[in-house]
Amino acid sequence: MFKVNCLILMSAIGFGACQDSRGTKNSELPAQEVLMNDTMKSKNKSEAIELLVSPSTFDINNKNKTGKYTLYNNSDNEVIVSSSIVIEIWSGNDWQIVPLVKNFVFEDITYATRQKESQDFTLALSNILEDGGTVKGKYKITKEVWTLGKESQKSLLSAEFEIK
């Protein structure tokens, strides 16, 4: 039942990102802890789970804006990350969701990253952003993460990058 609900939620997030060409304000997203400092923390200690985008700056003139985002798990626990992403652009006042290409969907897959390890994921901005990554600005990618066995304690982990 959890996987079905998760699939429905991820599909709704992906569908909303694909269909709303005006963008959606961050305040319209479901309430969850968003960790802007790129580090997931527990109540007891910093677990040092970081998300970084490489390169941190993409060239606006490059038609193949492909990079990667890396999940660094420096904690003592295995962590799980969903396959879905949300990409937003800073509008000067708040973050706006960037529309993805029409009919783009995320598979209902999660990835495990063992303690003290990292995992790379391809970020093909030219292929997934509706505008192909042709708008200059400050962006962020957000992923849903949680500690293995603690699915009810999900957090949103973000990393910023730029298109110049």
pLDDT digits (tens, 9 = 90+) for 119-140: 999 999 999 999 998 999 999 9
Tokens of 32: 């969850």
Residue-level pLDDT at 106: 83
Mean pLDDT (the chain, rounded): 79
Residue-level pLDDT at 47: 56
Contact (Cβ atoms closer than 8 angstroms) between residue 65 and residue 163: yes
Residue-level pLDDT at 37: 41
CATH of the domain at 152: 2.60.40.10
pLDDT in tens, 46-61: 458 999 999 999 999 9
Residue-level pLDDT at 104: 82
Cα dihedral angle (122, 155, 97, 113), rounded to 10 degrees? 0
Residue-level pLDDT at 164: 95
pLDDT over 70, % of the chain: 71
- Considering only CA atoms, which of 10, 4, 39, 6 is closest in space to residue 151? 6
Name the domain count of the chain: 1
Question: Cα(56)–Cα(152) distance, rounded to whole angstroms?
Answer: 31
Residue-level pLDDT at 7: 35
The whole domain housing 34 covers 2-163
Tokens of 3: 């996987």
Task: For residue 11, give the 3-state DSSP assignment.
Answer: helix
- 39 vs 143, higher pLDDT: 143
Residue 34 is which amino acid? V
Residue-level pLDDT at 144: 94
